[in-house]
Every structure is written in structure tokens, then in C-alpha cells.
Amino acid sequence: MEEQARLTAGAGIWSTPAIPEAGVPGLSLADGPMGVASQSIDERDVSLLMPCGTALAASWDTALAREVGTVVAAECRRRHVQAILGPNLNLPRSPLAGRAFETYSEEPLLSALIGAAWIAGVQGGGVSAVAKHLVANDSETQRHSMNSVVDQRALREVYLRPFEYAARAGVGGLLLAYNRMNGLPCVEHADLMGIVRNEWRWPGVLMSDWFGTHDGARSLNAGLDLEMPGPARHMGERAAALVGAGEVPARRVAEAADRLQTWARRWTDTAPGPAADAQDVLVRAAAAGFVLLSNDGLLPLDPAQSLAVIGPNASAPCYQGATFARIALADDVPTPVAALQGAFADVRHEPGVAPTYRLPPLTAQDITAPSGEPGLDVTYATAAGEEVFHEVRRTSTLVWFSDMPGGLHTAQPGRVRARTRLIPAVSGPWRLSYGGTGDVTFLIDGAVQGERPSPVVGGDVMGHLLRAESGHVDLELRAGVPVELDYRMTFGGARAQGLWFGARPPEAADLLERAVAAAGHAAQVALVVGETADSGVESRDRTTTRLPDDQLDLIRRVCAANPRTVVIVNAAHAVDLSWADHAAAVMQVWFPGQGFAPALADVLSGAREPGGRLPVTVARAEADYPAFDLTPDAHGDLPYGEGVLIGARAFAARGTVPAYPLGAGVGYAQFDYCSVAADAQTVTLNVRNTSGRAGKTVVQVYLEMPALDGVPAYPTLAAFQAVTLAAGEVRDVTLAVAHDAYRQWSQADGRWITQPGPRRVQVGRFLGDAVWEGTVTPPH
């Protein structure tokens, strides 16, 4: 019993326990899914960065998703990791969701099939995937305490469907969400875990999110197998005492231990899969997710003509959002402007406006540690002031979980000091920011300029770290005249600690005018706008879908100065595009990973196809989204009032016309769909590339779901296939309709049903584009 109990909790932050005498190895885990995150959150621990979930879903390409999973697995093996937390199978229920970039699509089937393909790639590469976050963890506001109120039909048909497909794909683990669902914490939800075990017949490991377990007996009795991280707080060795006290049956601990040892043996004794050309996959995957929403003939651009590259994201692109799964990038990852300078003969760059960071990174400036190395000199000391470790770091956010350098521990009092020299590039008013989890004192040239006491963070310490709330000092600095910056923090015990800092330089008064002038003198313009890495944040939801006002002004001014402008939107959620008519072309590129720059140069120059189609609906007005505000009510409840009418379904059921429908997007090639035929399980058609170049189309099949339990009829995705053809090529294409496409959950009967009668089927390039329409009879 003692050995069995020990297996039910992690051994450390990123490890499961080993019991060598019983032949049970420990597993090393890492956070994901956009790559293999540093277990110590260290910017020196570099890894490859994949396209975000939304970008991958925008490819509508399951084979590509599997390839990306294979690259992730190879990175895991290189870093001696046996299990990775991913994919994120929650849904972007609202465009405001802070973590929407990690998720795939508002359409459950697209999320399910892309997620299952990613899992197949990872696990085919010899690494266990751990799909997250089960379930209804579709927003970040009050994520530890909020209660997602979801009816059974929406839960079954929408929010559990991607997880059900993950279970069918044999995913190694499922991670339970922080939130409550219909009144119970997910880690204590016996009905939820009963669906997984009794209906799906899934044998894998159910684990908590990090620090998400609060009661060992309730969690074990509900079906949880593993508390993470370690050392144990509620399960683990404590489970033996719970059994002895009669609070937990012995068989429940034995069952959990059996799953853990099976999982550990399976994934420490797995041969690696085939190697992939990672760089090629990353560039192809980035381009495959670029969604060209409109193009009046401007694209592809002419590499021989002059090009003005404008916008803050051209030189400061957003590759990823701000979660603890943030990937440390190599220094040689190129920016879009650098790649375009290599692909076009005559390029001029002007940012137009400054990036809208909440905490502008200090590392973007010219900083030097006292040792002379680039970065900050960081020293660690005991609470009494005895220095125990020293290192040079090159980041604006220092974070530690549990163990700290020099034998310190986050749960015990201590001190951290970071020093650097800033040489201002320009004269004027600078805003210097500072903050941390302890008492922070900020000195400039040896004089105290600001103090910030330890914050009251409640239960969400990790969320506080990511929000990086800070104080600031406004100071006039002269170009070339160095200033010494000194950040000192004393801290008490906590599960994690962090110290962060930033520097916002004065903005040049003529940034906008220089950009407009450059646009007016160029033959063509690429305007790259969008978000910063700290705009999509774990623990915080957005407040609007609009781009910043200064970027909207930049778009209007640049498009007026040069009508031959393509606007590239570097944001990973549905963005307000009411300005789109100003531009000759609009392309949304999401957070495309480290292949962003070469992929953009290839797509704009015509060397590659913009292969993406929208995985989410873009509304004309924010009020049109069926779910928008993500703030729980006074009782902590967040009602999922739209039920199954999520995303495109609601627009269709209500007759609301979106700005851009689900599945929309164009490429450079043109296609004809001919000889379409359909029955209940198969759609066949002839696809012809009618253009003079190779290209991609995405065949989409939508099935009308009949009214049930007071919910009106609506269309839902039933099948899709990405098809790439050479110039003039013709191919017969067969799509298998999802085997569960016709079923609905009856609230009245409490079971799955298939309503009789003919169903309307549409085949086309996007929802509402009915190249072919007919009816089929559901299978018995």
C-alpha cells in the first residue's frame, strides 16, 4: 500500500516517482503544446517553437498536425522528456479568452481531429501526450475558483468531443482543469471522470493541473490518479493514511497505482519515431496556417519592386503568448523584416507605432551586466544576506518554482538582486518598471527610486507571475549616457517566486509620419500589425477584439498613402476587421511559431501558398458573438448560455451574417469542385486546379443538425480535407463523414439519439459556400 500510495503524486515539479525495487521508472514531464517548455523557465534553455494551436487548426491539415507532433516528440527526446502537456483541447468559446491561441477551433470536430493527429505524431515519436484541460476551461478570469455552468448537451456534443477523440487516439494522459464545472471542482468530479472511464473505456492516467488538487480523499474517490506537482500535498504517501482511516477504498489507490506504473513503463521504454526535418516543417506549418482573407490581385508581391515594410510587428513579431509553457527562442530566429529584406530587392522599414507591451522588455535595450556580459547580473542570498549563487541572465522576467540556485527554496525566505547598465539609445522620458512576488526596491545610480511591497495574490500565484503587475519610475535620460539599474527583492515563503522589470523608451514624435512617407514612396507595402507576447496571457482574458487605436490609425493612414498595401495581422484570435476594406489584401497569421519570418517572405513573394482557412468565425460587431463576456457573476458562475450554439452555429441559427465565416480564406490558385455525390457516410467529388500554379484548397462538408430540446436547427462540420494540386491537376477526393456526426444528446432522455429524417448537406470552400447541396438519410 505504501508503494502504491507513493505513485499517486509527483516526485517533483516535473517528475513522477520511481520505485526501482518494483521496476517502476519515473517520468520526466514538460509543459507544452507549442514546444517543449523549459522545466526551470530559463531563457537559456532554448527549444523549437511550433505554430500556436489556432494557427495549426487554420491549416485544416491533419497530416501536417501529425508532422508537427513528430517534431515536438523529437524535441522531447532531445531534452530527455517522456511526457508533454498538450494538446490544449479547450475551445475558443469567446474571442476574449486569454489563452485562446493555444486552442484550435470553435468547431468541435476540427479541434478533435487536429488534436488527435497532433497526439498521434507525438506518441508515434515515442513520447506521451497529456491532453488538457478537462473540461470547460475556456477562459482565464478567476480560473481557480470560477464555476462553468454547462448543460449536458453542450458538454457532451461540444466541450467533451475533442477529449473523446483524444481518448480514442490512445492519449497517454488527461489533465483535469482548475475550474469547477456545474458546482464541483473538475479534480473531484466523479460524473466527469465516470464518462471518461465508463463510456469512453479509456485506461490512461487522469492527473491534476499543477497545484490543482485540494482534497485527496474527494479527488481519489472521484477517480483522480495523480496529483501534480510533487512533493505530495494531498495524495501520494498521504493516500495510505486515507485508506487506513477508511476515507478511500484500498482498491482505488491500487487502481491509480496500476495506471501510473503502466504509463511509466510504456513511455520510458519506447523507441523513437522517425526523424523529421524540423526547420522545413516549421516553415511549412506557418505558411499553411496563414489565412488570406481578401486579395484584390495585389498578392503575390513583386520581389523586384520596392517594398515598404511597416508596422511594429515587422521587427518585434509576436511568436507566442504568455503562459508557463513559453518557449525560449534561439537568438538567430529572424524577424519578418529581416526575411523580407532577403527576399525583396529594395526594402525600407518603418515601425509607424511602438509595440503595445504591458511591460516592455528590458532586454530589447542595450544592457550590460557588471561583468561586461550582455544581460543582468543576478545574485541569490539567504534571508540573512549571505550570497550563495551568482549568474548572468538575459530576460526581463525571472521565475522560480520550488528550487532556486544556491540551494535556496521558494518556500523559505530569501533575497534576489539583479543589476545592469542601461545605455539609452535615445534622449527623453523613459519609463522604467519593476515588480515581483516579494518586497522590491528599485535603485537608479545607487539611489532608491521606487519601492513595491509584497502583493496579496490569493491562490493564483502563477497567474500573478504571468500578469507581472508592476510599479514604474519616469525619468529623463540622455542618449549614450549610461545609468545603473539595481532591483532588490526580499521574499517570504511561497510555491513560486518572480522578479520582473521593463523599460519603455520615449516614442519618436515622427514615427507615424515616417511610415506614411515610406508607404507613399514604395511600389507596394507590407503592413504588419498585431499583438505583443503579453497580450494573450494565462490568468487574464482580453477586454476587446480591437487592435490598439494607434495601429488602427496606422492602417488607415498607410492604406490611404498607398492603396497597394497588404495588412498582415499577427494576432491569434478573432480580431475586429471592420477596417479591412481600406487594404488591398488582408492576411491573418496568428502566432505562427519560429517559422514566421521565412514563411511570410515566401508567401508574400509567391514562393509558397497562403494555405490557411479560418478556424473561427469573425463577427461584424462584438455583440454578434454568441459568447463574449467572460467575467463570472457574483457567485463565481459563468453560464454557457449559448449551449451547443457556439461560434458559426449561432450565426447560422440566428441568421446573423459574419464579417468572415468559418472556413473562409483564399489562396493564389483557383479550384473547381465537380461531380459531387454524397451518402450518409461518404462524400466524393472531383477537384480541379484551374490555375497556372500549384495550390491548396480545403473541401468542407457541413451537415444540418435538426432542432432538439428547444434549440433550433444549425449546421455543423461533418468532414474536411486539405487538398494540394499541381497546376492543372485533377483528382478524385473522398471524405468520410464523422461516424458520430448524426448523434445528438437528448436532455429529456439523458442519452445519445439519432433523429430520423433527411439531413441537408452542403459541400463547399467555407460555411455558406454551397458548391453542392443535397440531402442524406442518417444511418441506423
Percentage of the chain modeled with pLDDT above 70: 98
Look at residue 365 in the predicted model and tell me its pLDDT. Answer: 59
**CA atoms of 542 and 358, how far apart (whole Å):** 13
Look at residue 366 in the predicted model and tell me its pLDDT. Answer: 76
738: left (phi over 0), alpha (psi -120 to 50) or beta: beta
Asked whether residue 464 carries a pLDDT value surpassing 90, the answer given is no
Name which of 40, 42, 3, 37 is nearest 21 in CA terms: 3
Percentage of the chain modeled with pLDDT above 90: 89
Q: What is the mean pLDDT of residues 188-203?
A: 98
Range with the lowest mean pLDDT among 255-264, 351-360, 650-659?
A: 351-360
User: In angstroms, what CA-CA distances link 307 with 245, 345, 350, 481?
Assistant: 74, 8, 11, 36
**CA atoms of 315 and 341, how far apart (whole Å):** 12
Asked whether residue 276 carries a pLDDT value surpassing 80, the answer given is no
Residue with the larger pLDDT of the pair 364 and 280: 280
- What confidence tier does 466 reach under pLDDT thresholds 50, 70, 90? low
Bond into 231 cis (ω within 30): yes
The CATH number of domain 362-504 is 2.60.120.380: yes
The CATH number of domain 669-776 is 2.60.40.10: yes
What angle in degrees, to the nearest 10, is found between the helix axes of 62-78 and 108-124? 40
Dihedral sign for Cα 741, 747, 750, 754, please: negative
Asked whether residue 766 carries a pLDDT value surpassing 70, the answer given is yes
Per-residue pLDDT of 94-153, as tens digits, reads: 999 999 999 999 999 999 999 999 999 999 999 999 999 999 999 999 988 999 999 999
Per-residue pLDDT of 16-35, as tens digits, reads: 999 999 999 999 999 999 99
Question: In 103-122, which positions are buried (b, 16+ CB within 10 angstroms) versus exposed (e)?
Answer: bbbbbbbbbbbbbbbbbbbb
3-state helix, strand, coil in the chain (%, to 5): 25, 30, 45
Per-residue pLDDT of 547-575, as tens digits, reads: 999 999 999 999 999 999 999 999 999 99
Name which of 765, 763, 776, 708 is nearest 157 in CA terms: 708
**CA atoms of 126 and 120, how far apart (whole Å):** 10
Query: Quick one: cell of 502?
Result: 521593463
Asked whether residue 408 carries a pLDDT value surpassing 80, the answer given is yes
Q: What is the mean pLDDT of residues 398-403?
A: 90
Name which of 391, 549, 538 is nearest 40 in CA terms: 391
Contact 762, 775 (CB under 8 A): no
Residue with the larger pLDDT of the pair 356 and 363: 356
Asked whether residue 199 carries a pLDDT value surpassing 70, the answer given is yes
pTM of the model: 0.96
**CA atoms of 147 and 185, how far apart (whole Å):** 8
| Cα-Cα end-to-end distance for the chain | 49
Q: What is the mean pLDDT of residues 196-206?
A: 98
Amino acid occupying residue 154:
A
23: left (phi over 0), alpha (psi -120 to 50) or beta: left
Q: What is the mean pLDDT of residues 377-403?
A: 93
Q: What is the mean pLDDT of residues 439-454?
A: 94
Q: What is the mean pLDDT of residues 634-650?
A: 97
Length of the chain: 780
User: In angstroms, what CA-CA distances link 30 with 39, 225, 327, 418?
Assistant: 6, 19, 11, 27
Helices (H), 269-413: 278-289, 312-315, 336-343
**CA atoms of 125 and 72, how far apart (whole Å):** 8
- What confidence tier does 299 reach under pLDDT thresholds 50, 70, 90? very high
Asked whether residue 458 carries a pLDDT value surpassing 60, the answer given is no
So where are the chain's domains?
2-268, 278-356+524-612, 362-504, 669-776
Asked whether residue 456 carries a pLDDT value surpassing 70, the answer given is no
For the domain spanning 278-356+524-612, the CATH number is 3.40.50.1700
For the domain spanning 2-268, the CATH number is 3.20.20.300
Look at residue 537 in the predicted model and tell me its pLDDT. Answer: 75
CA 673 to chain centre: 34
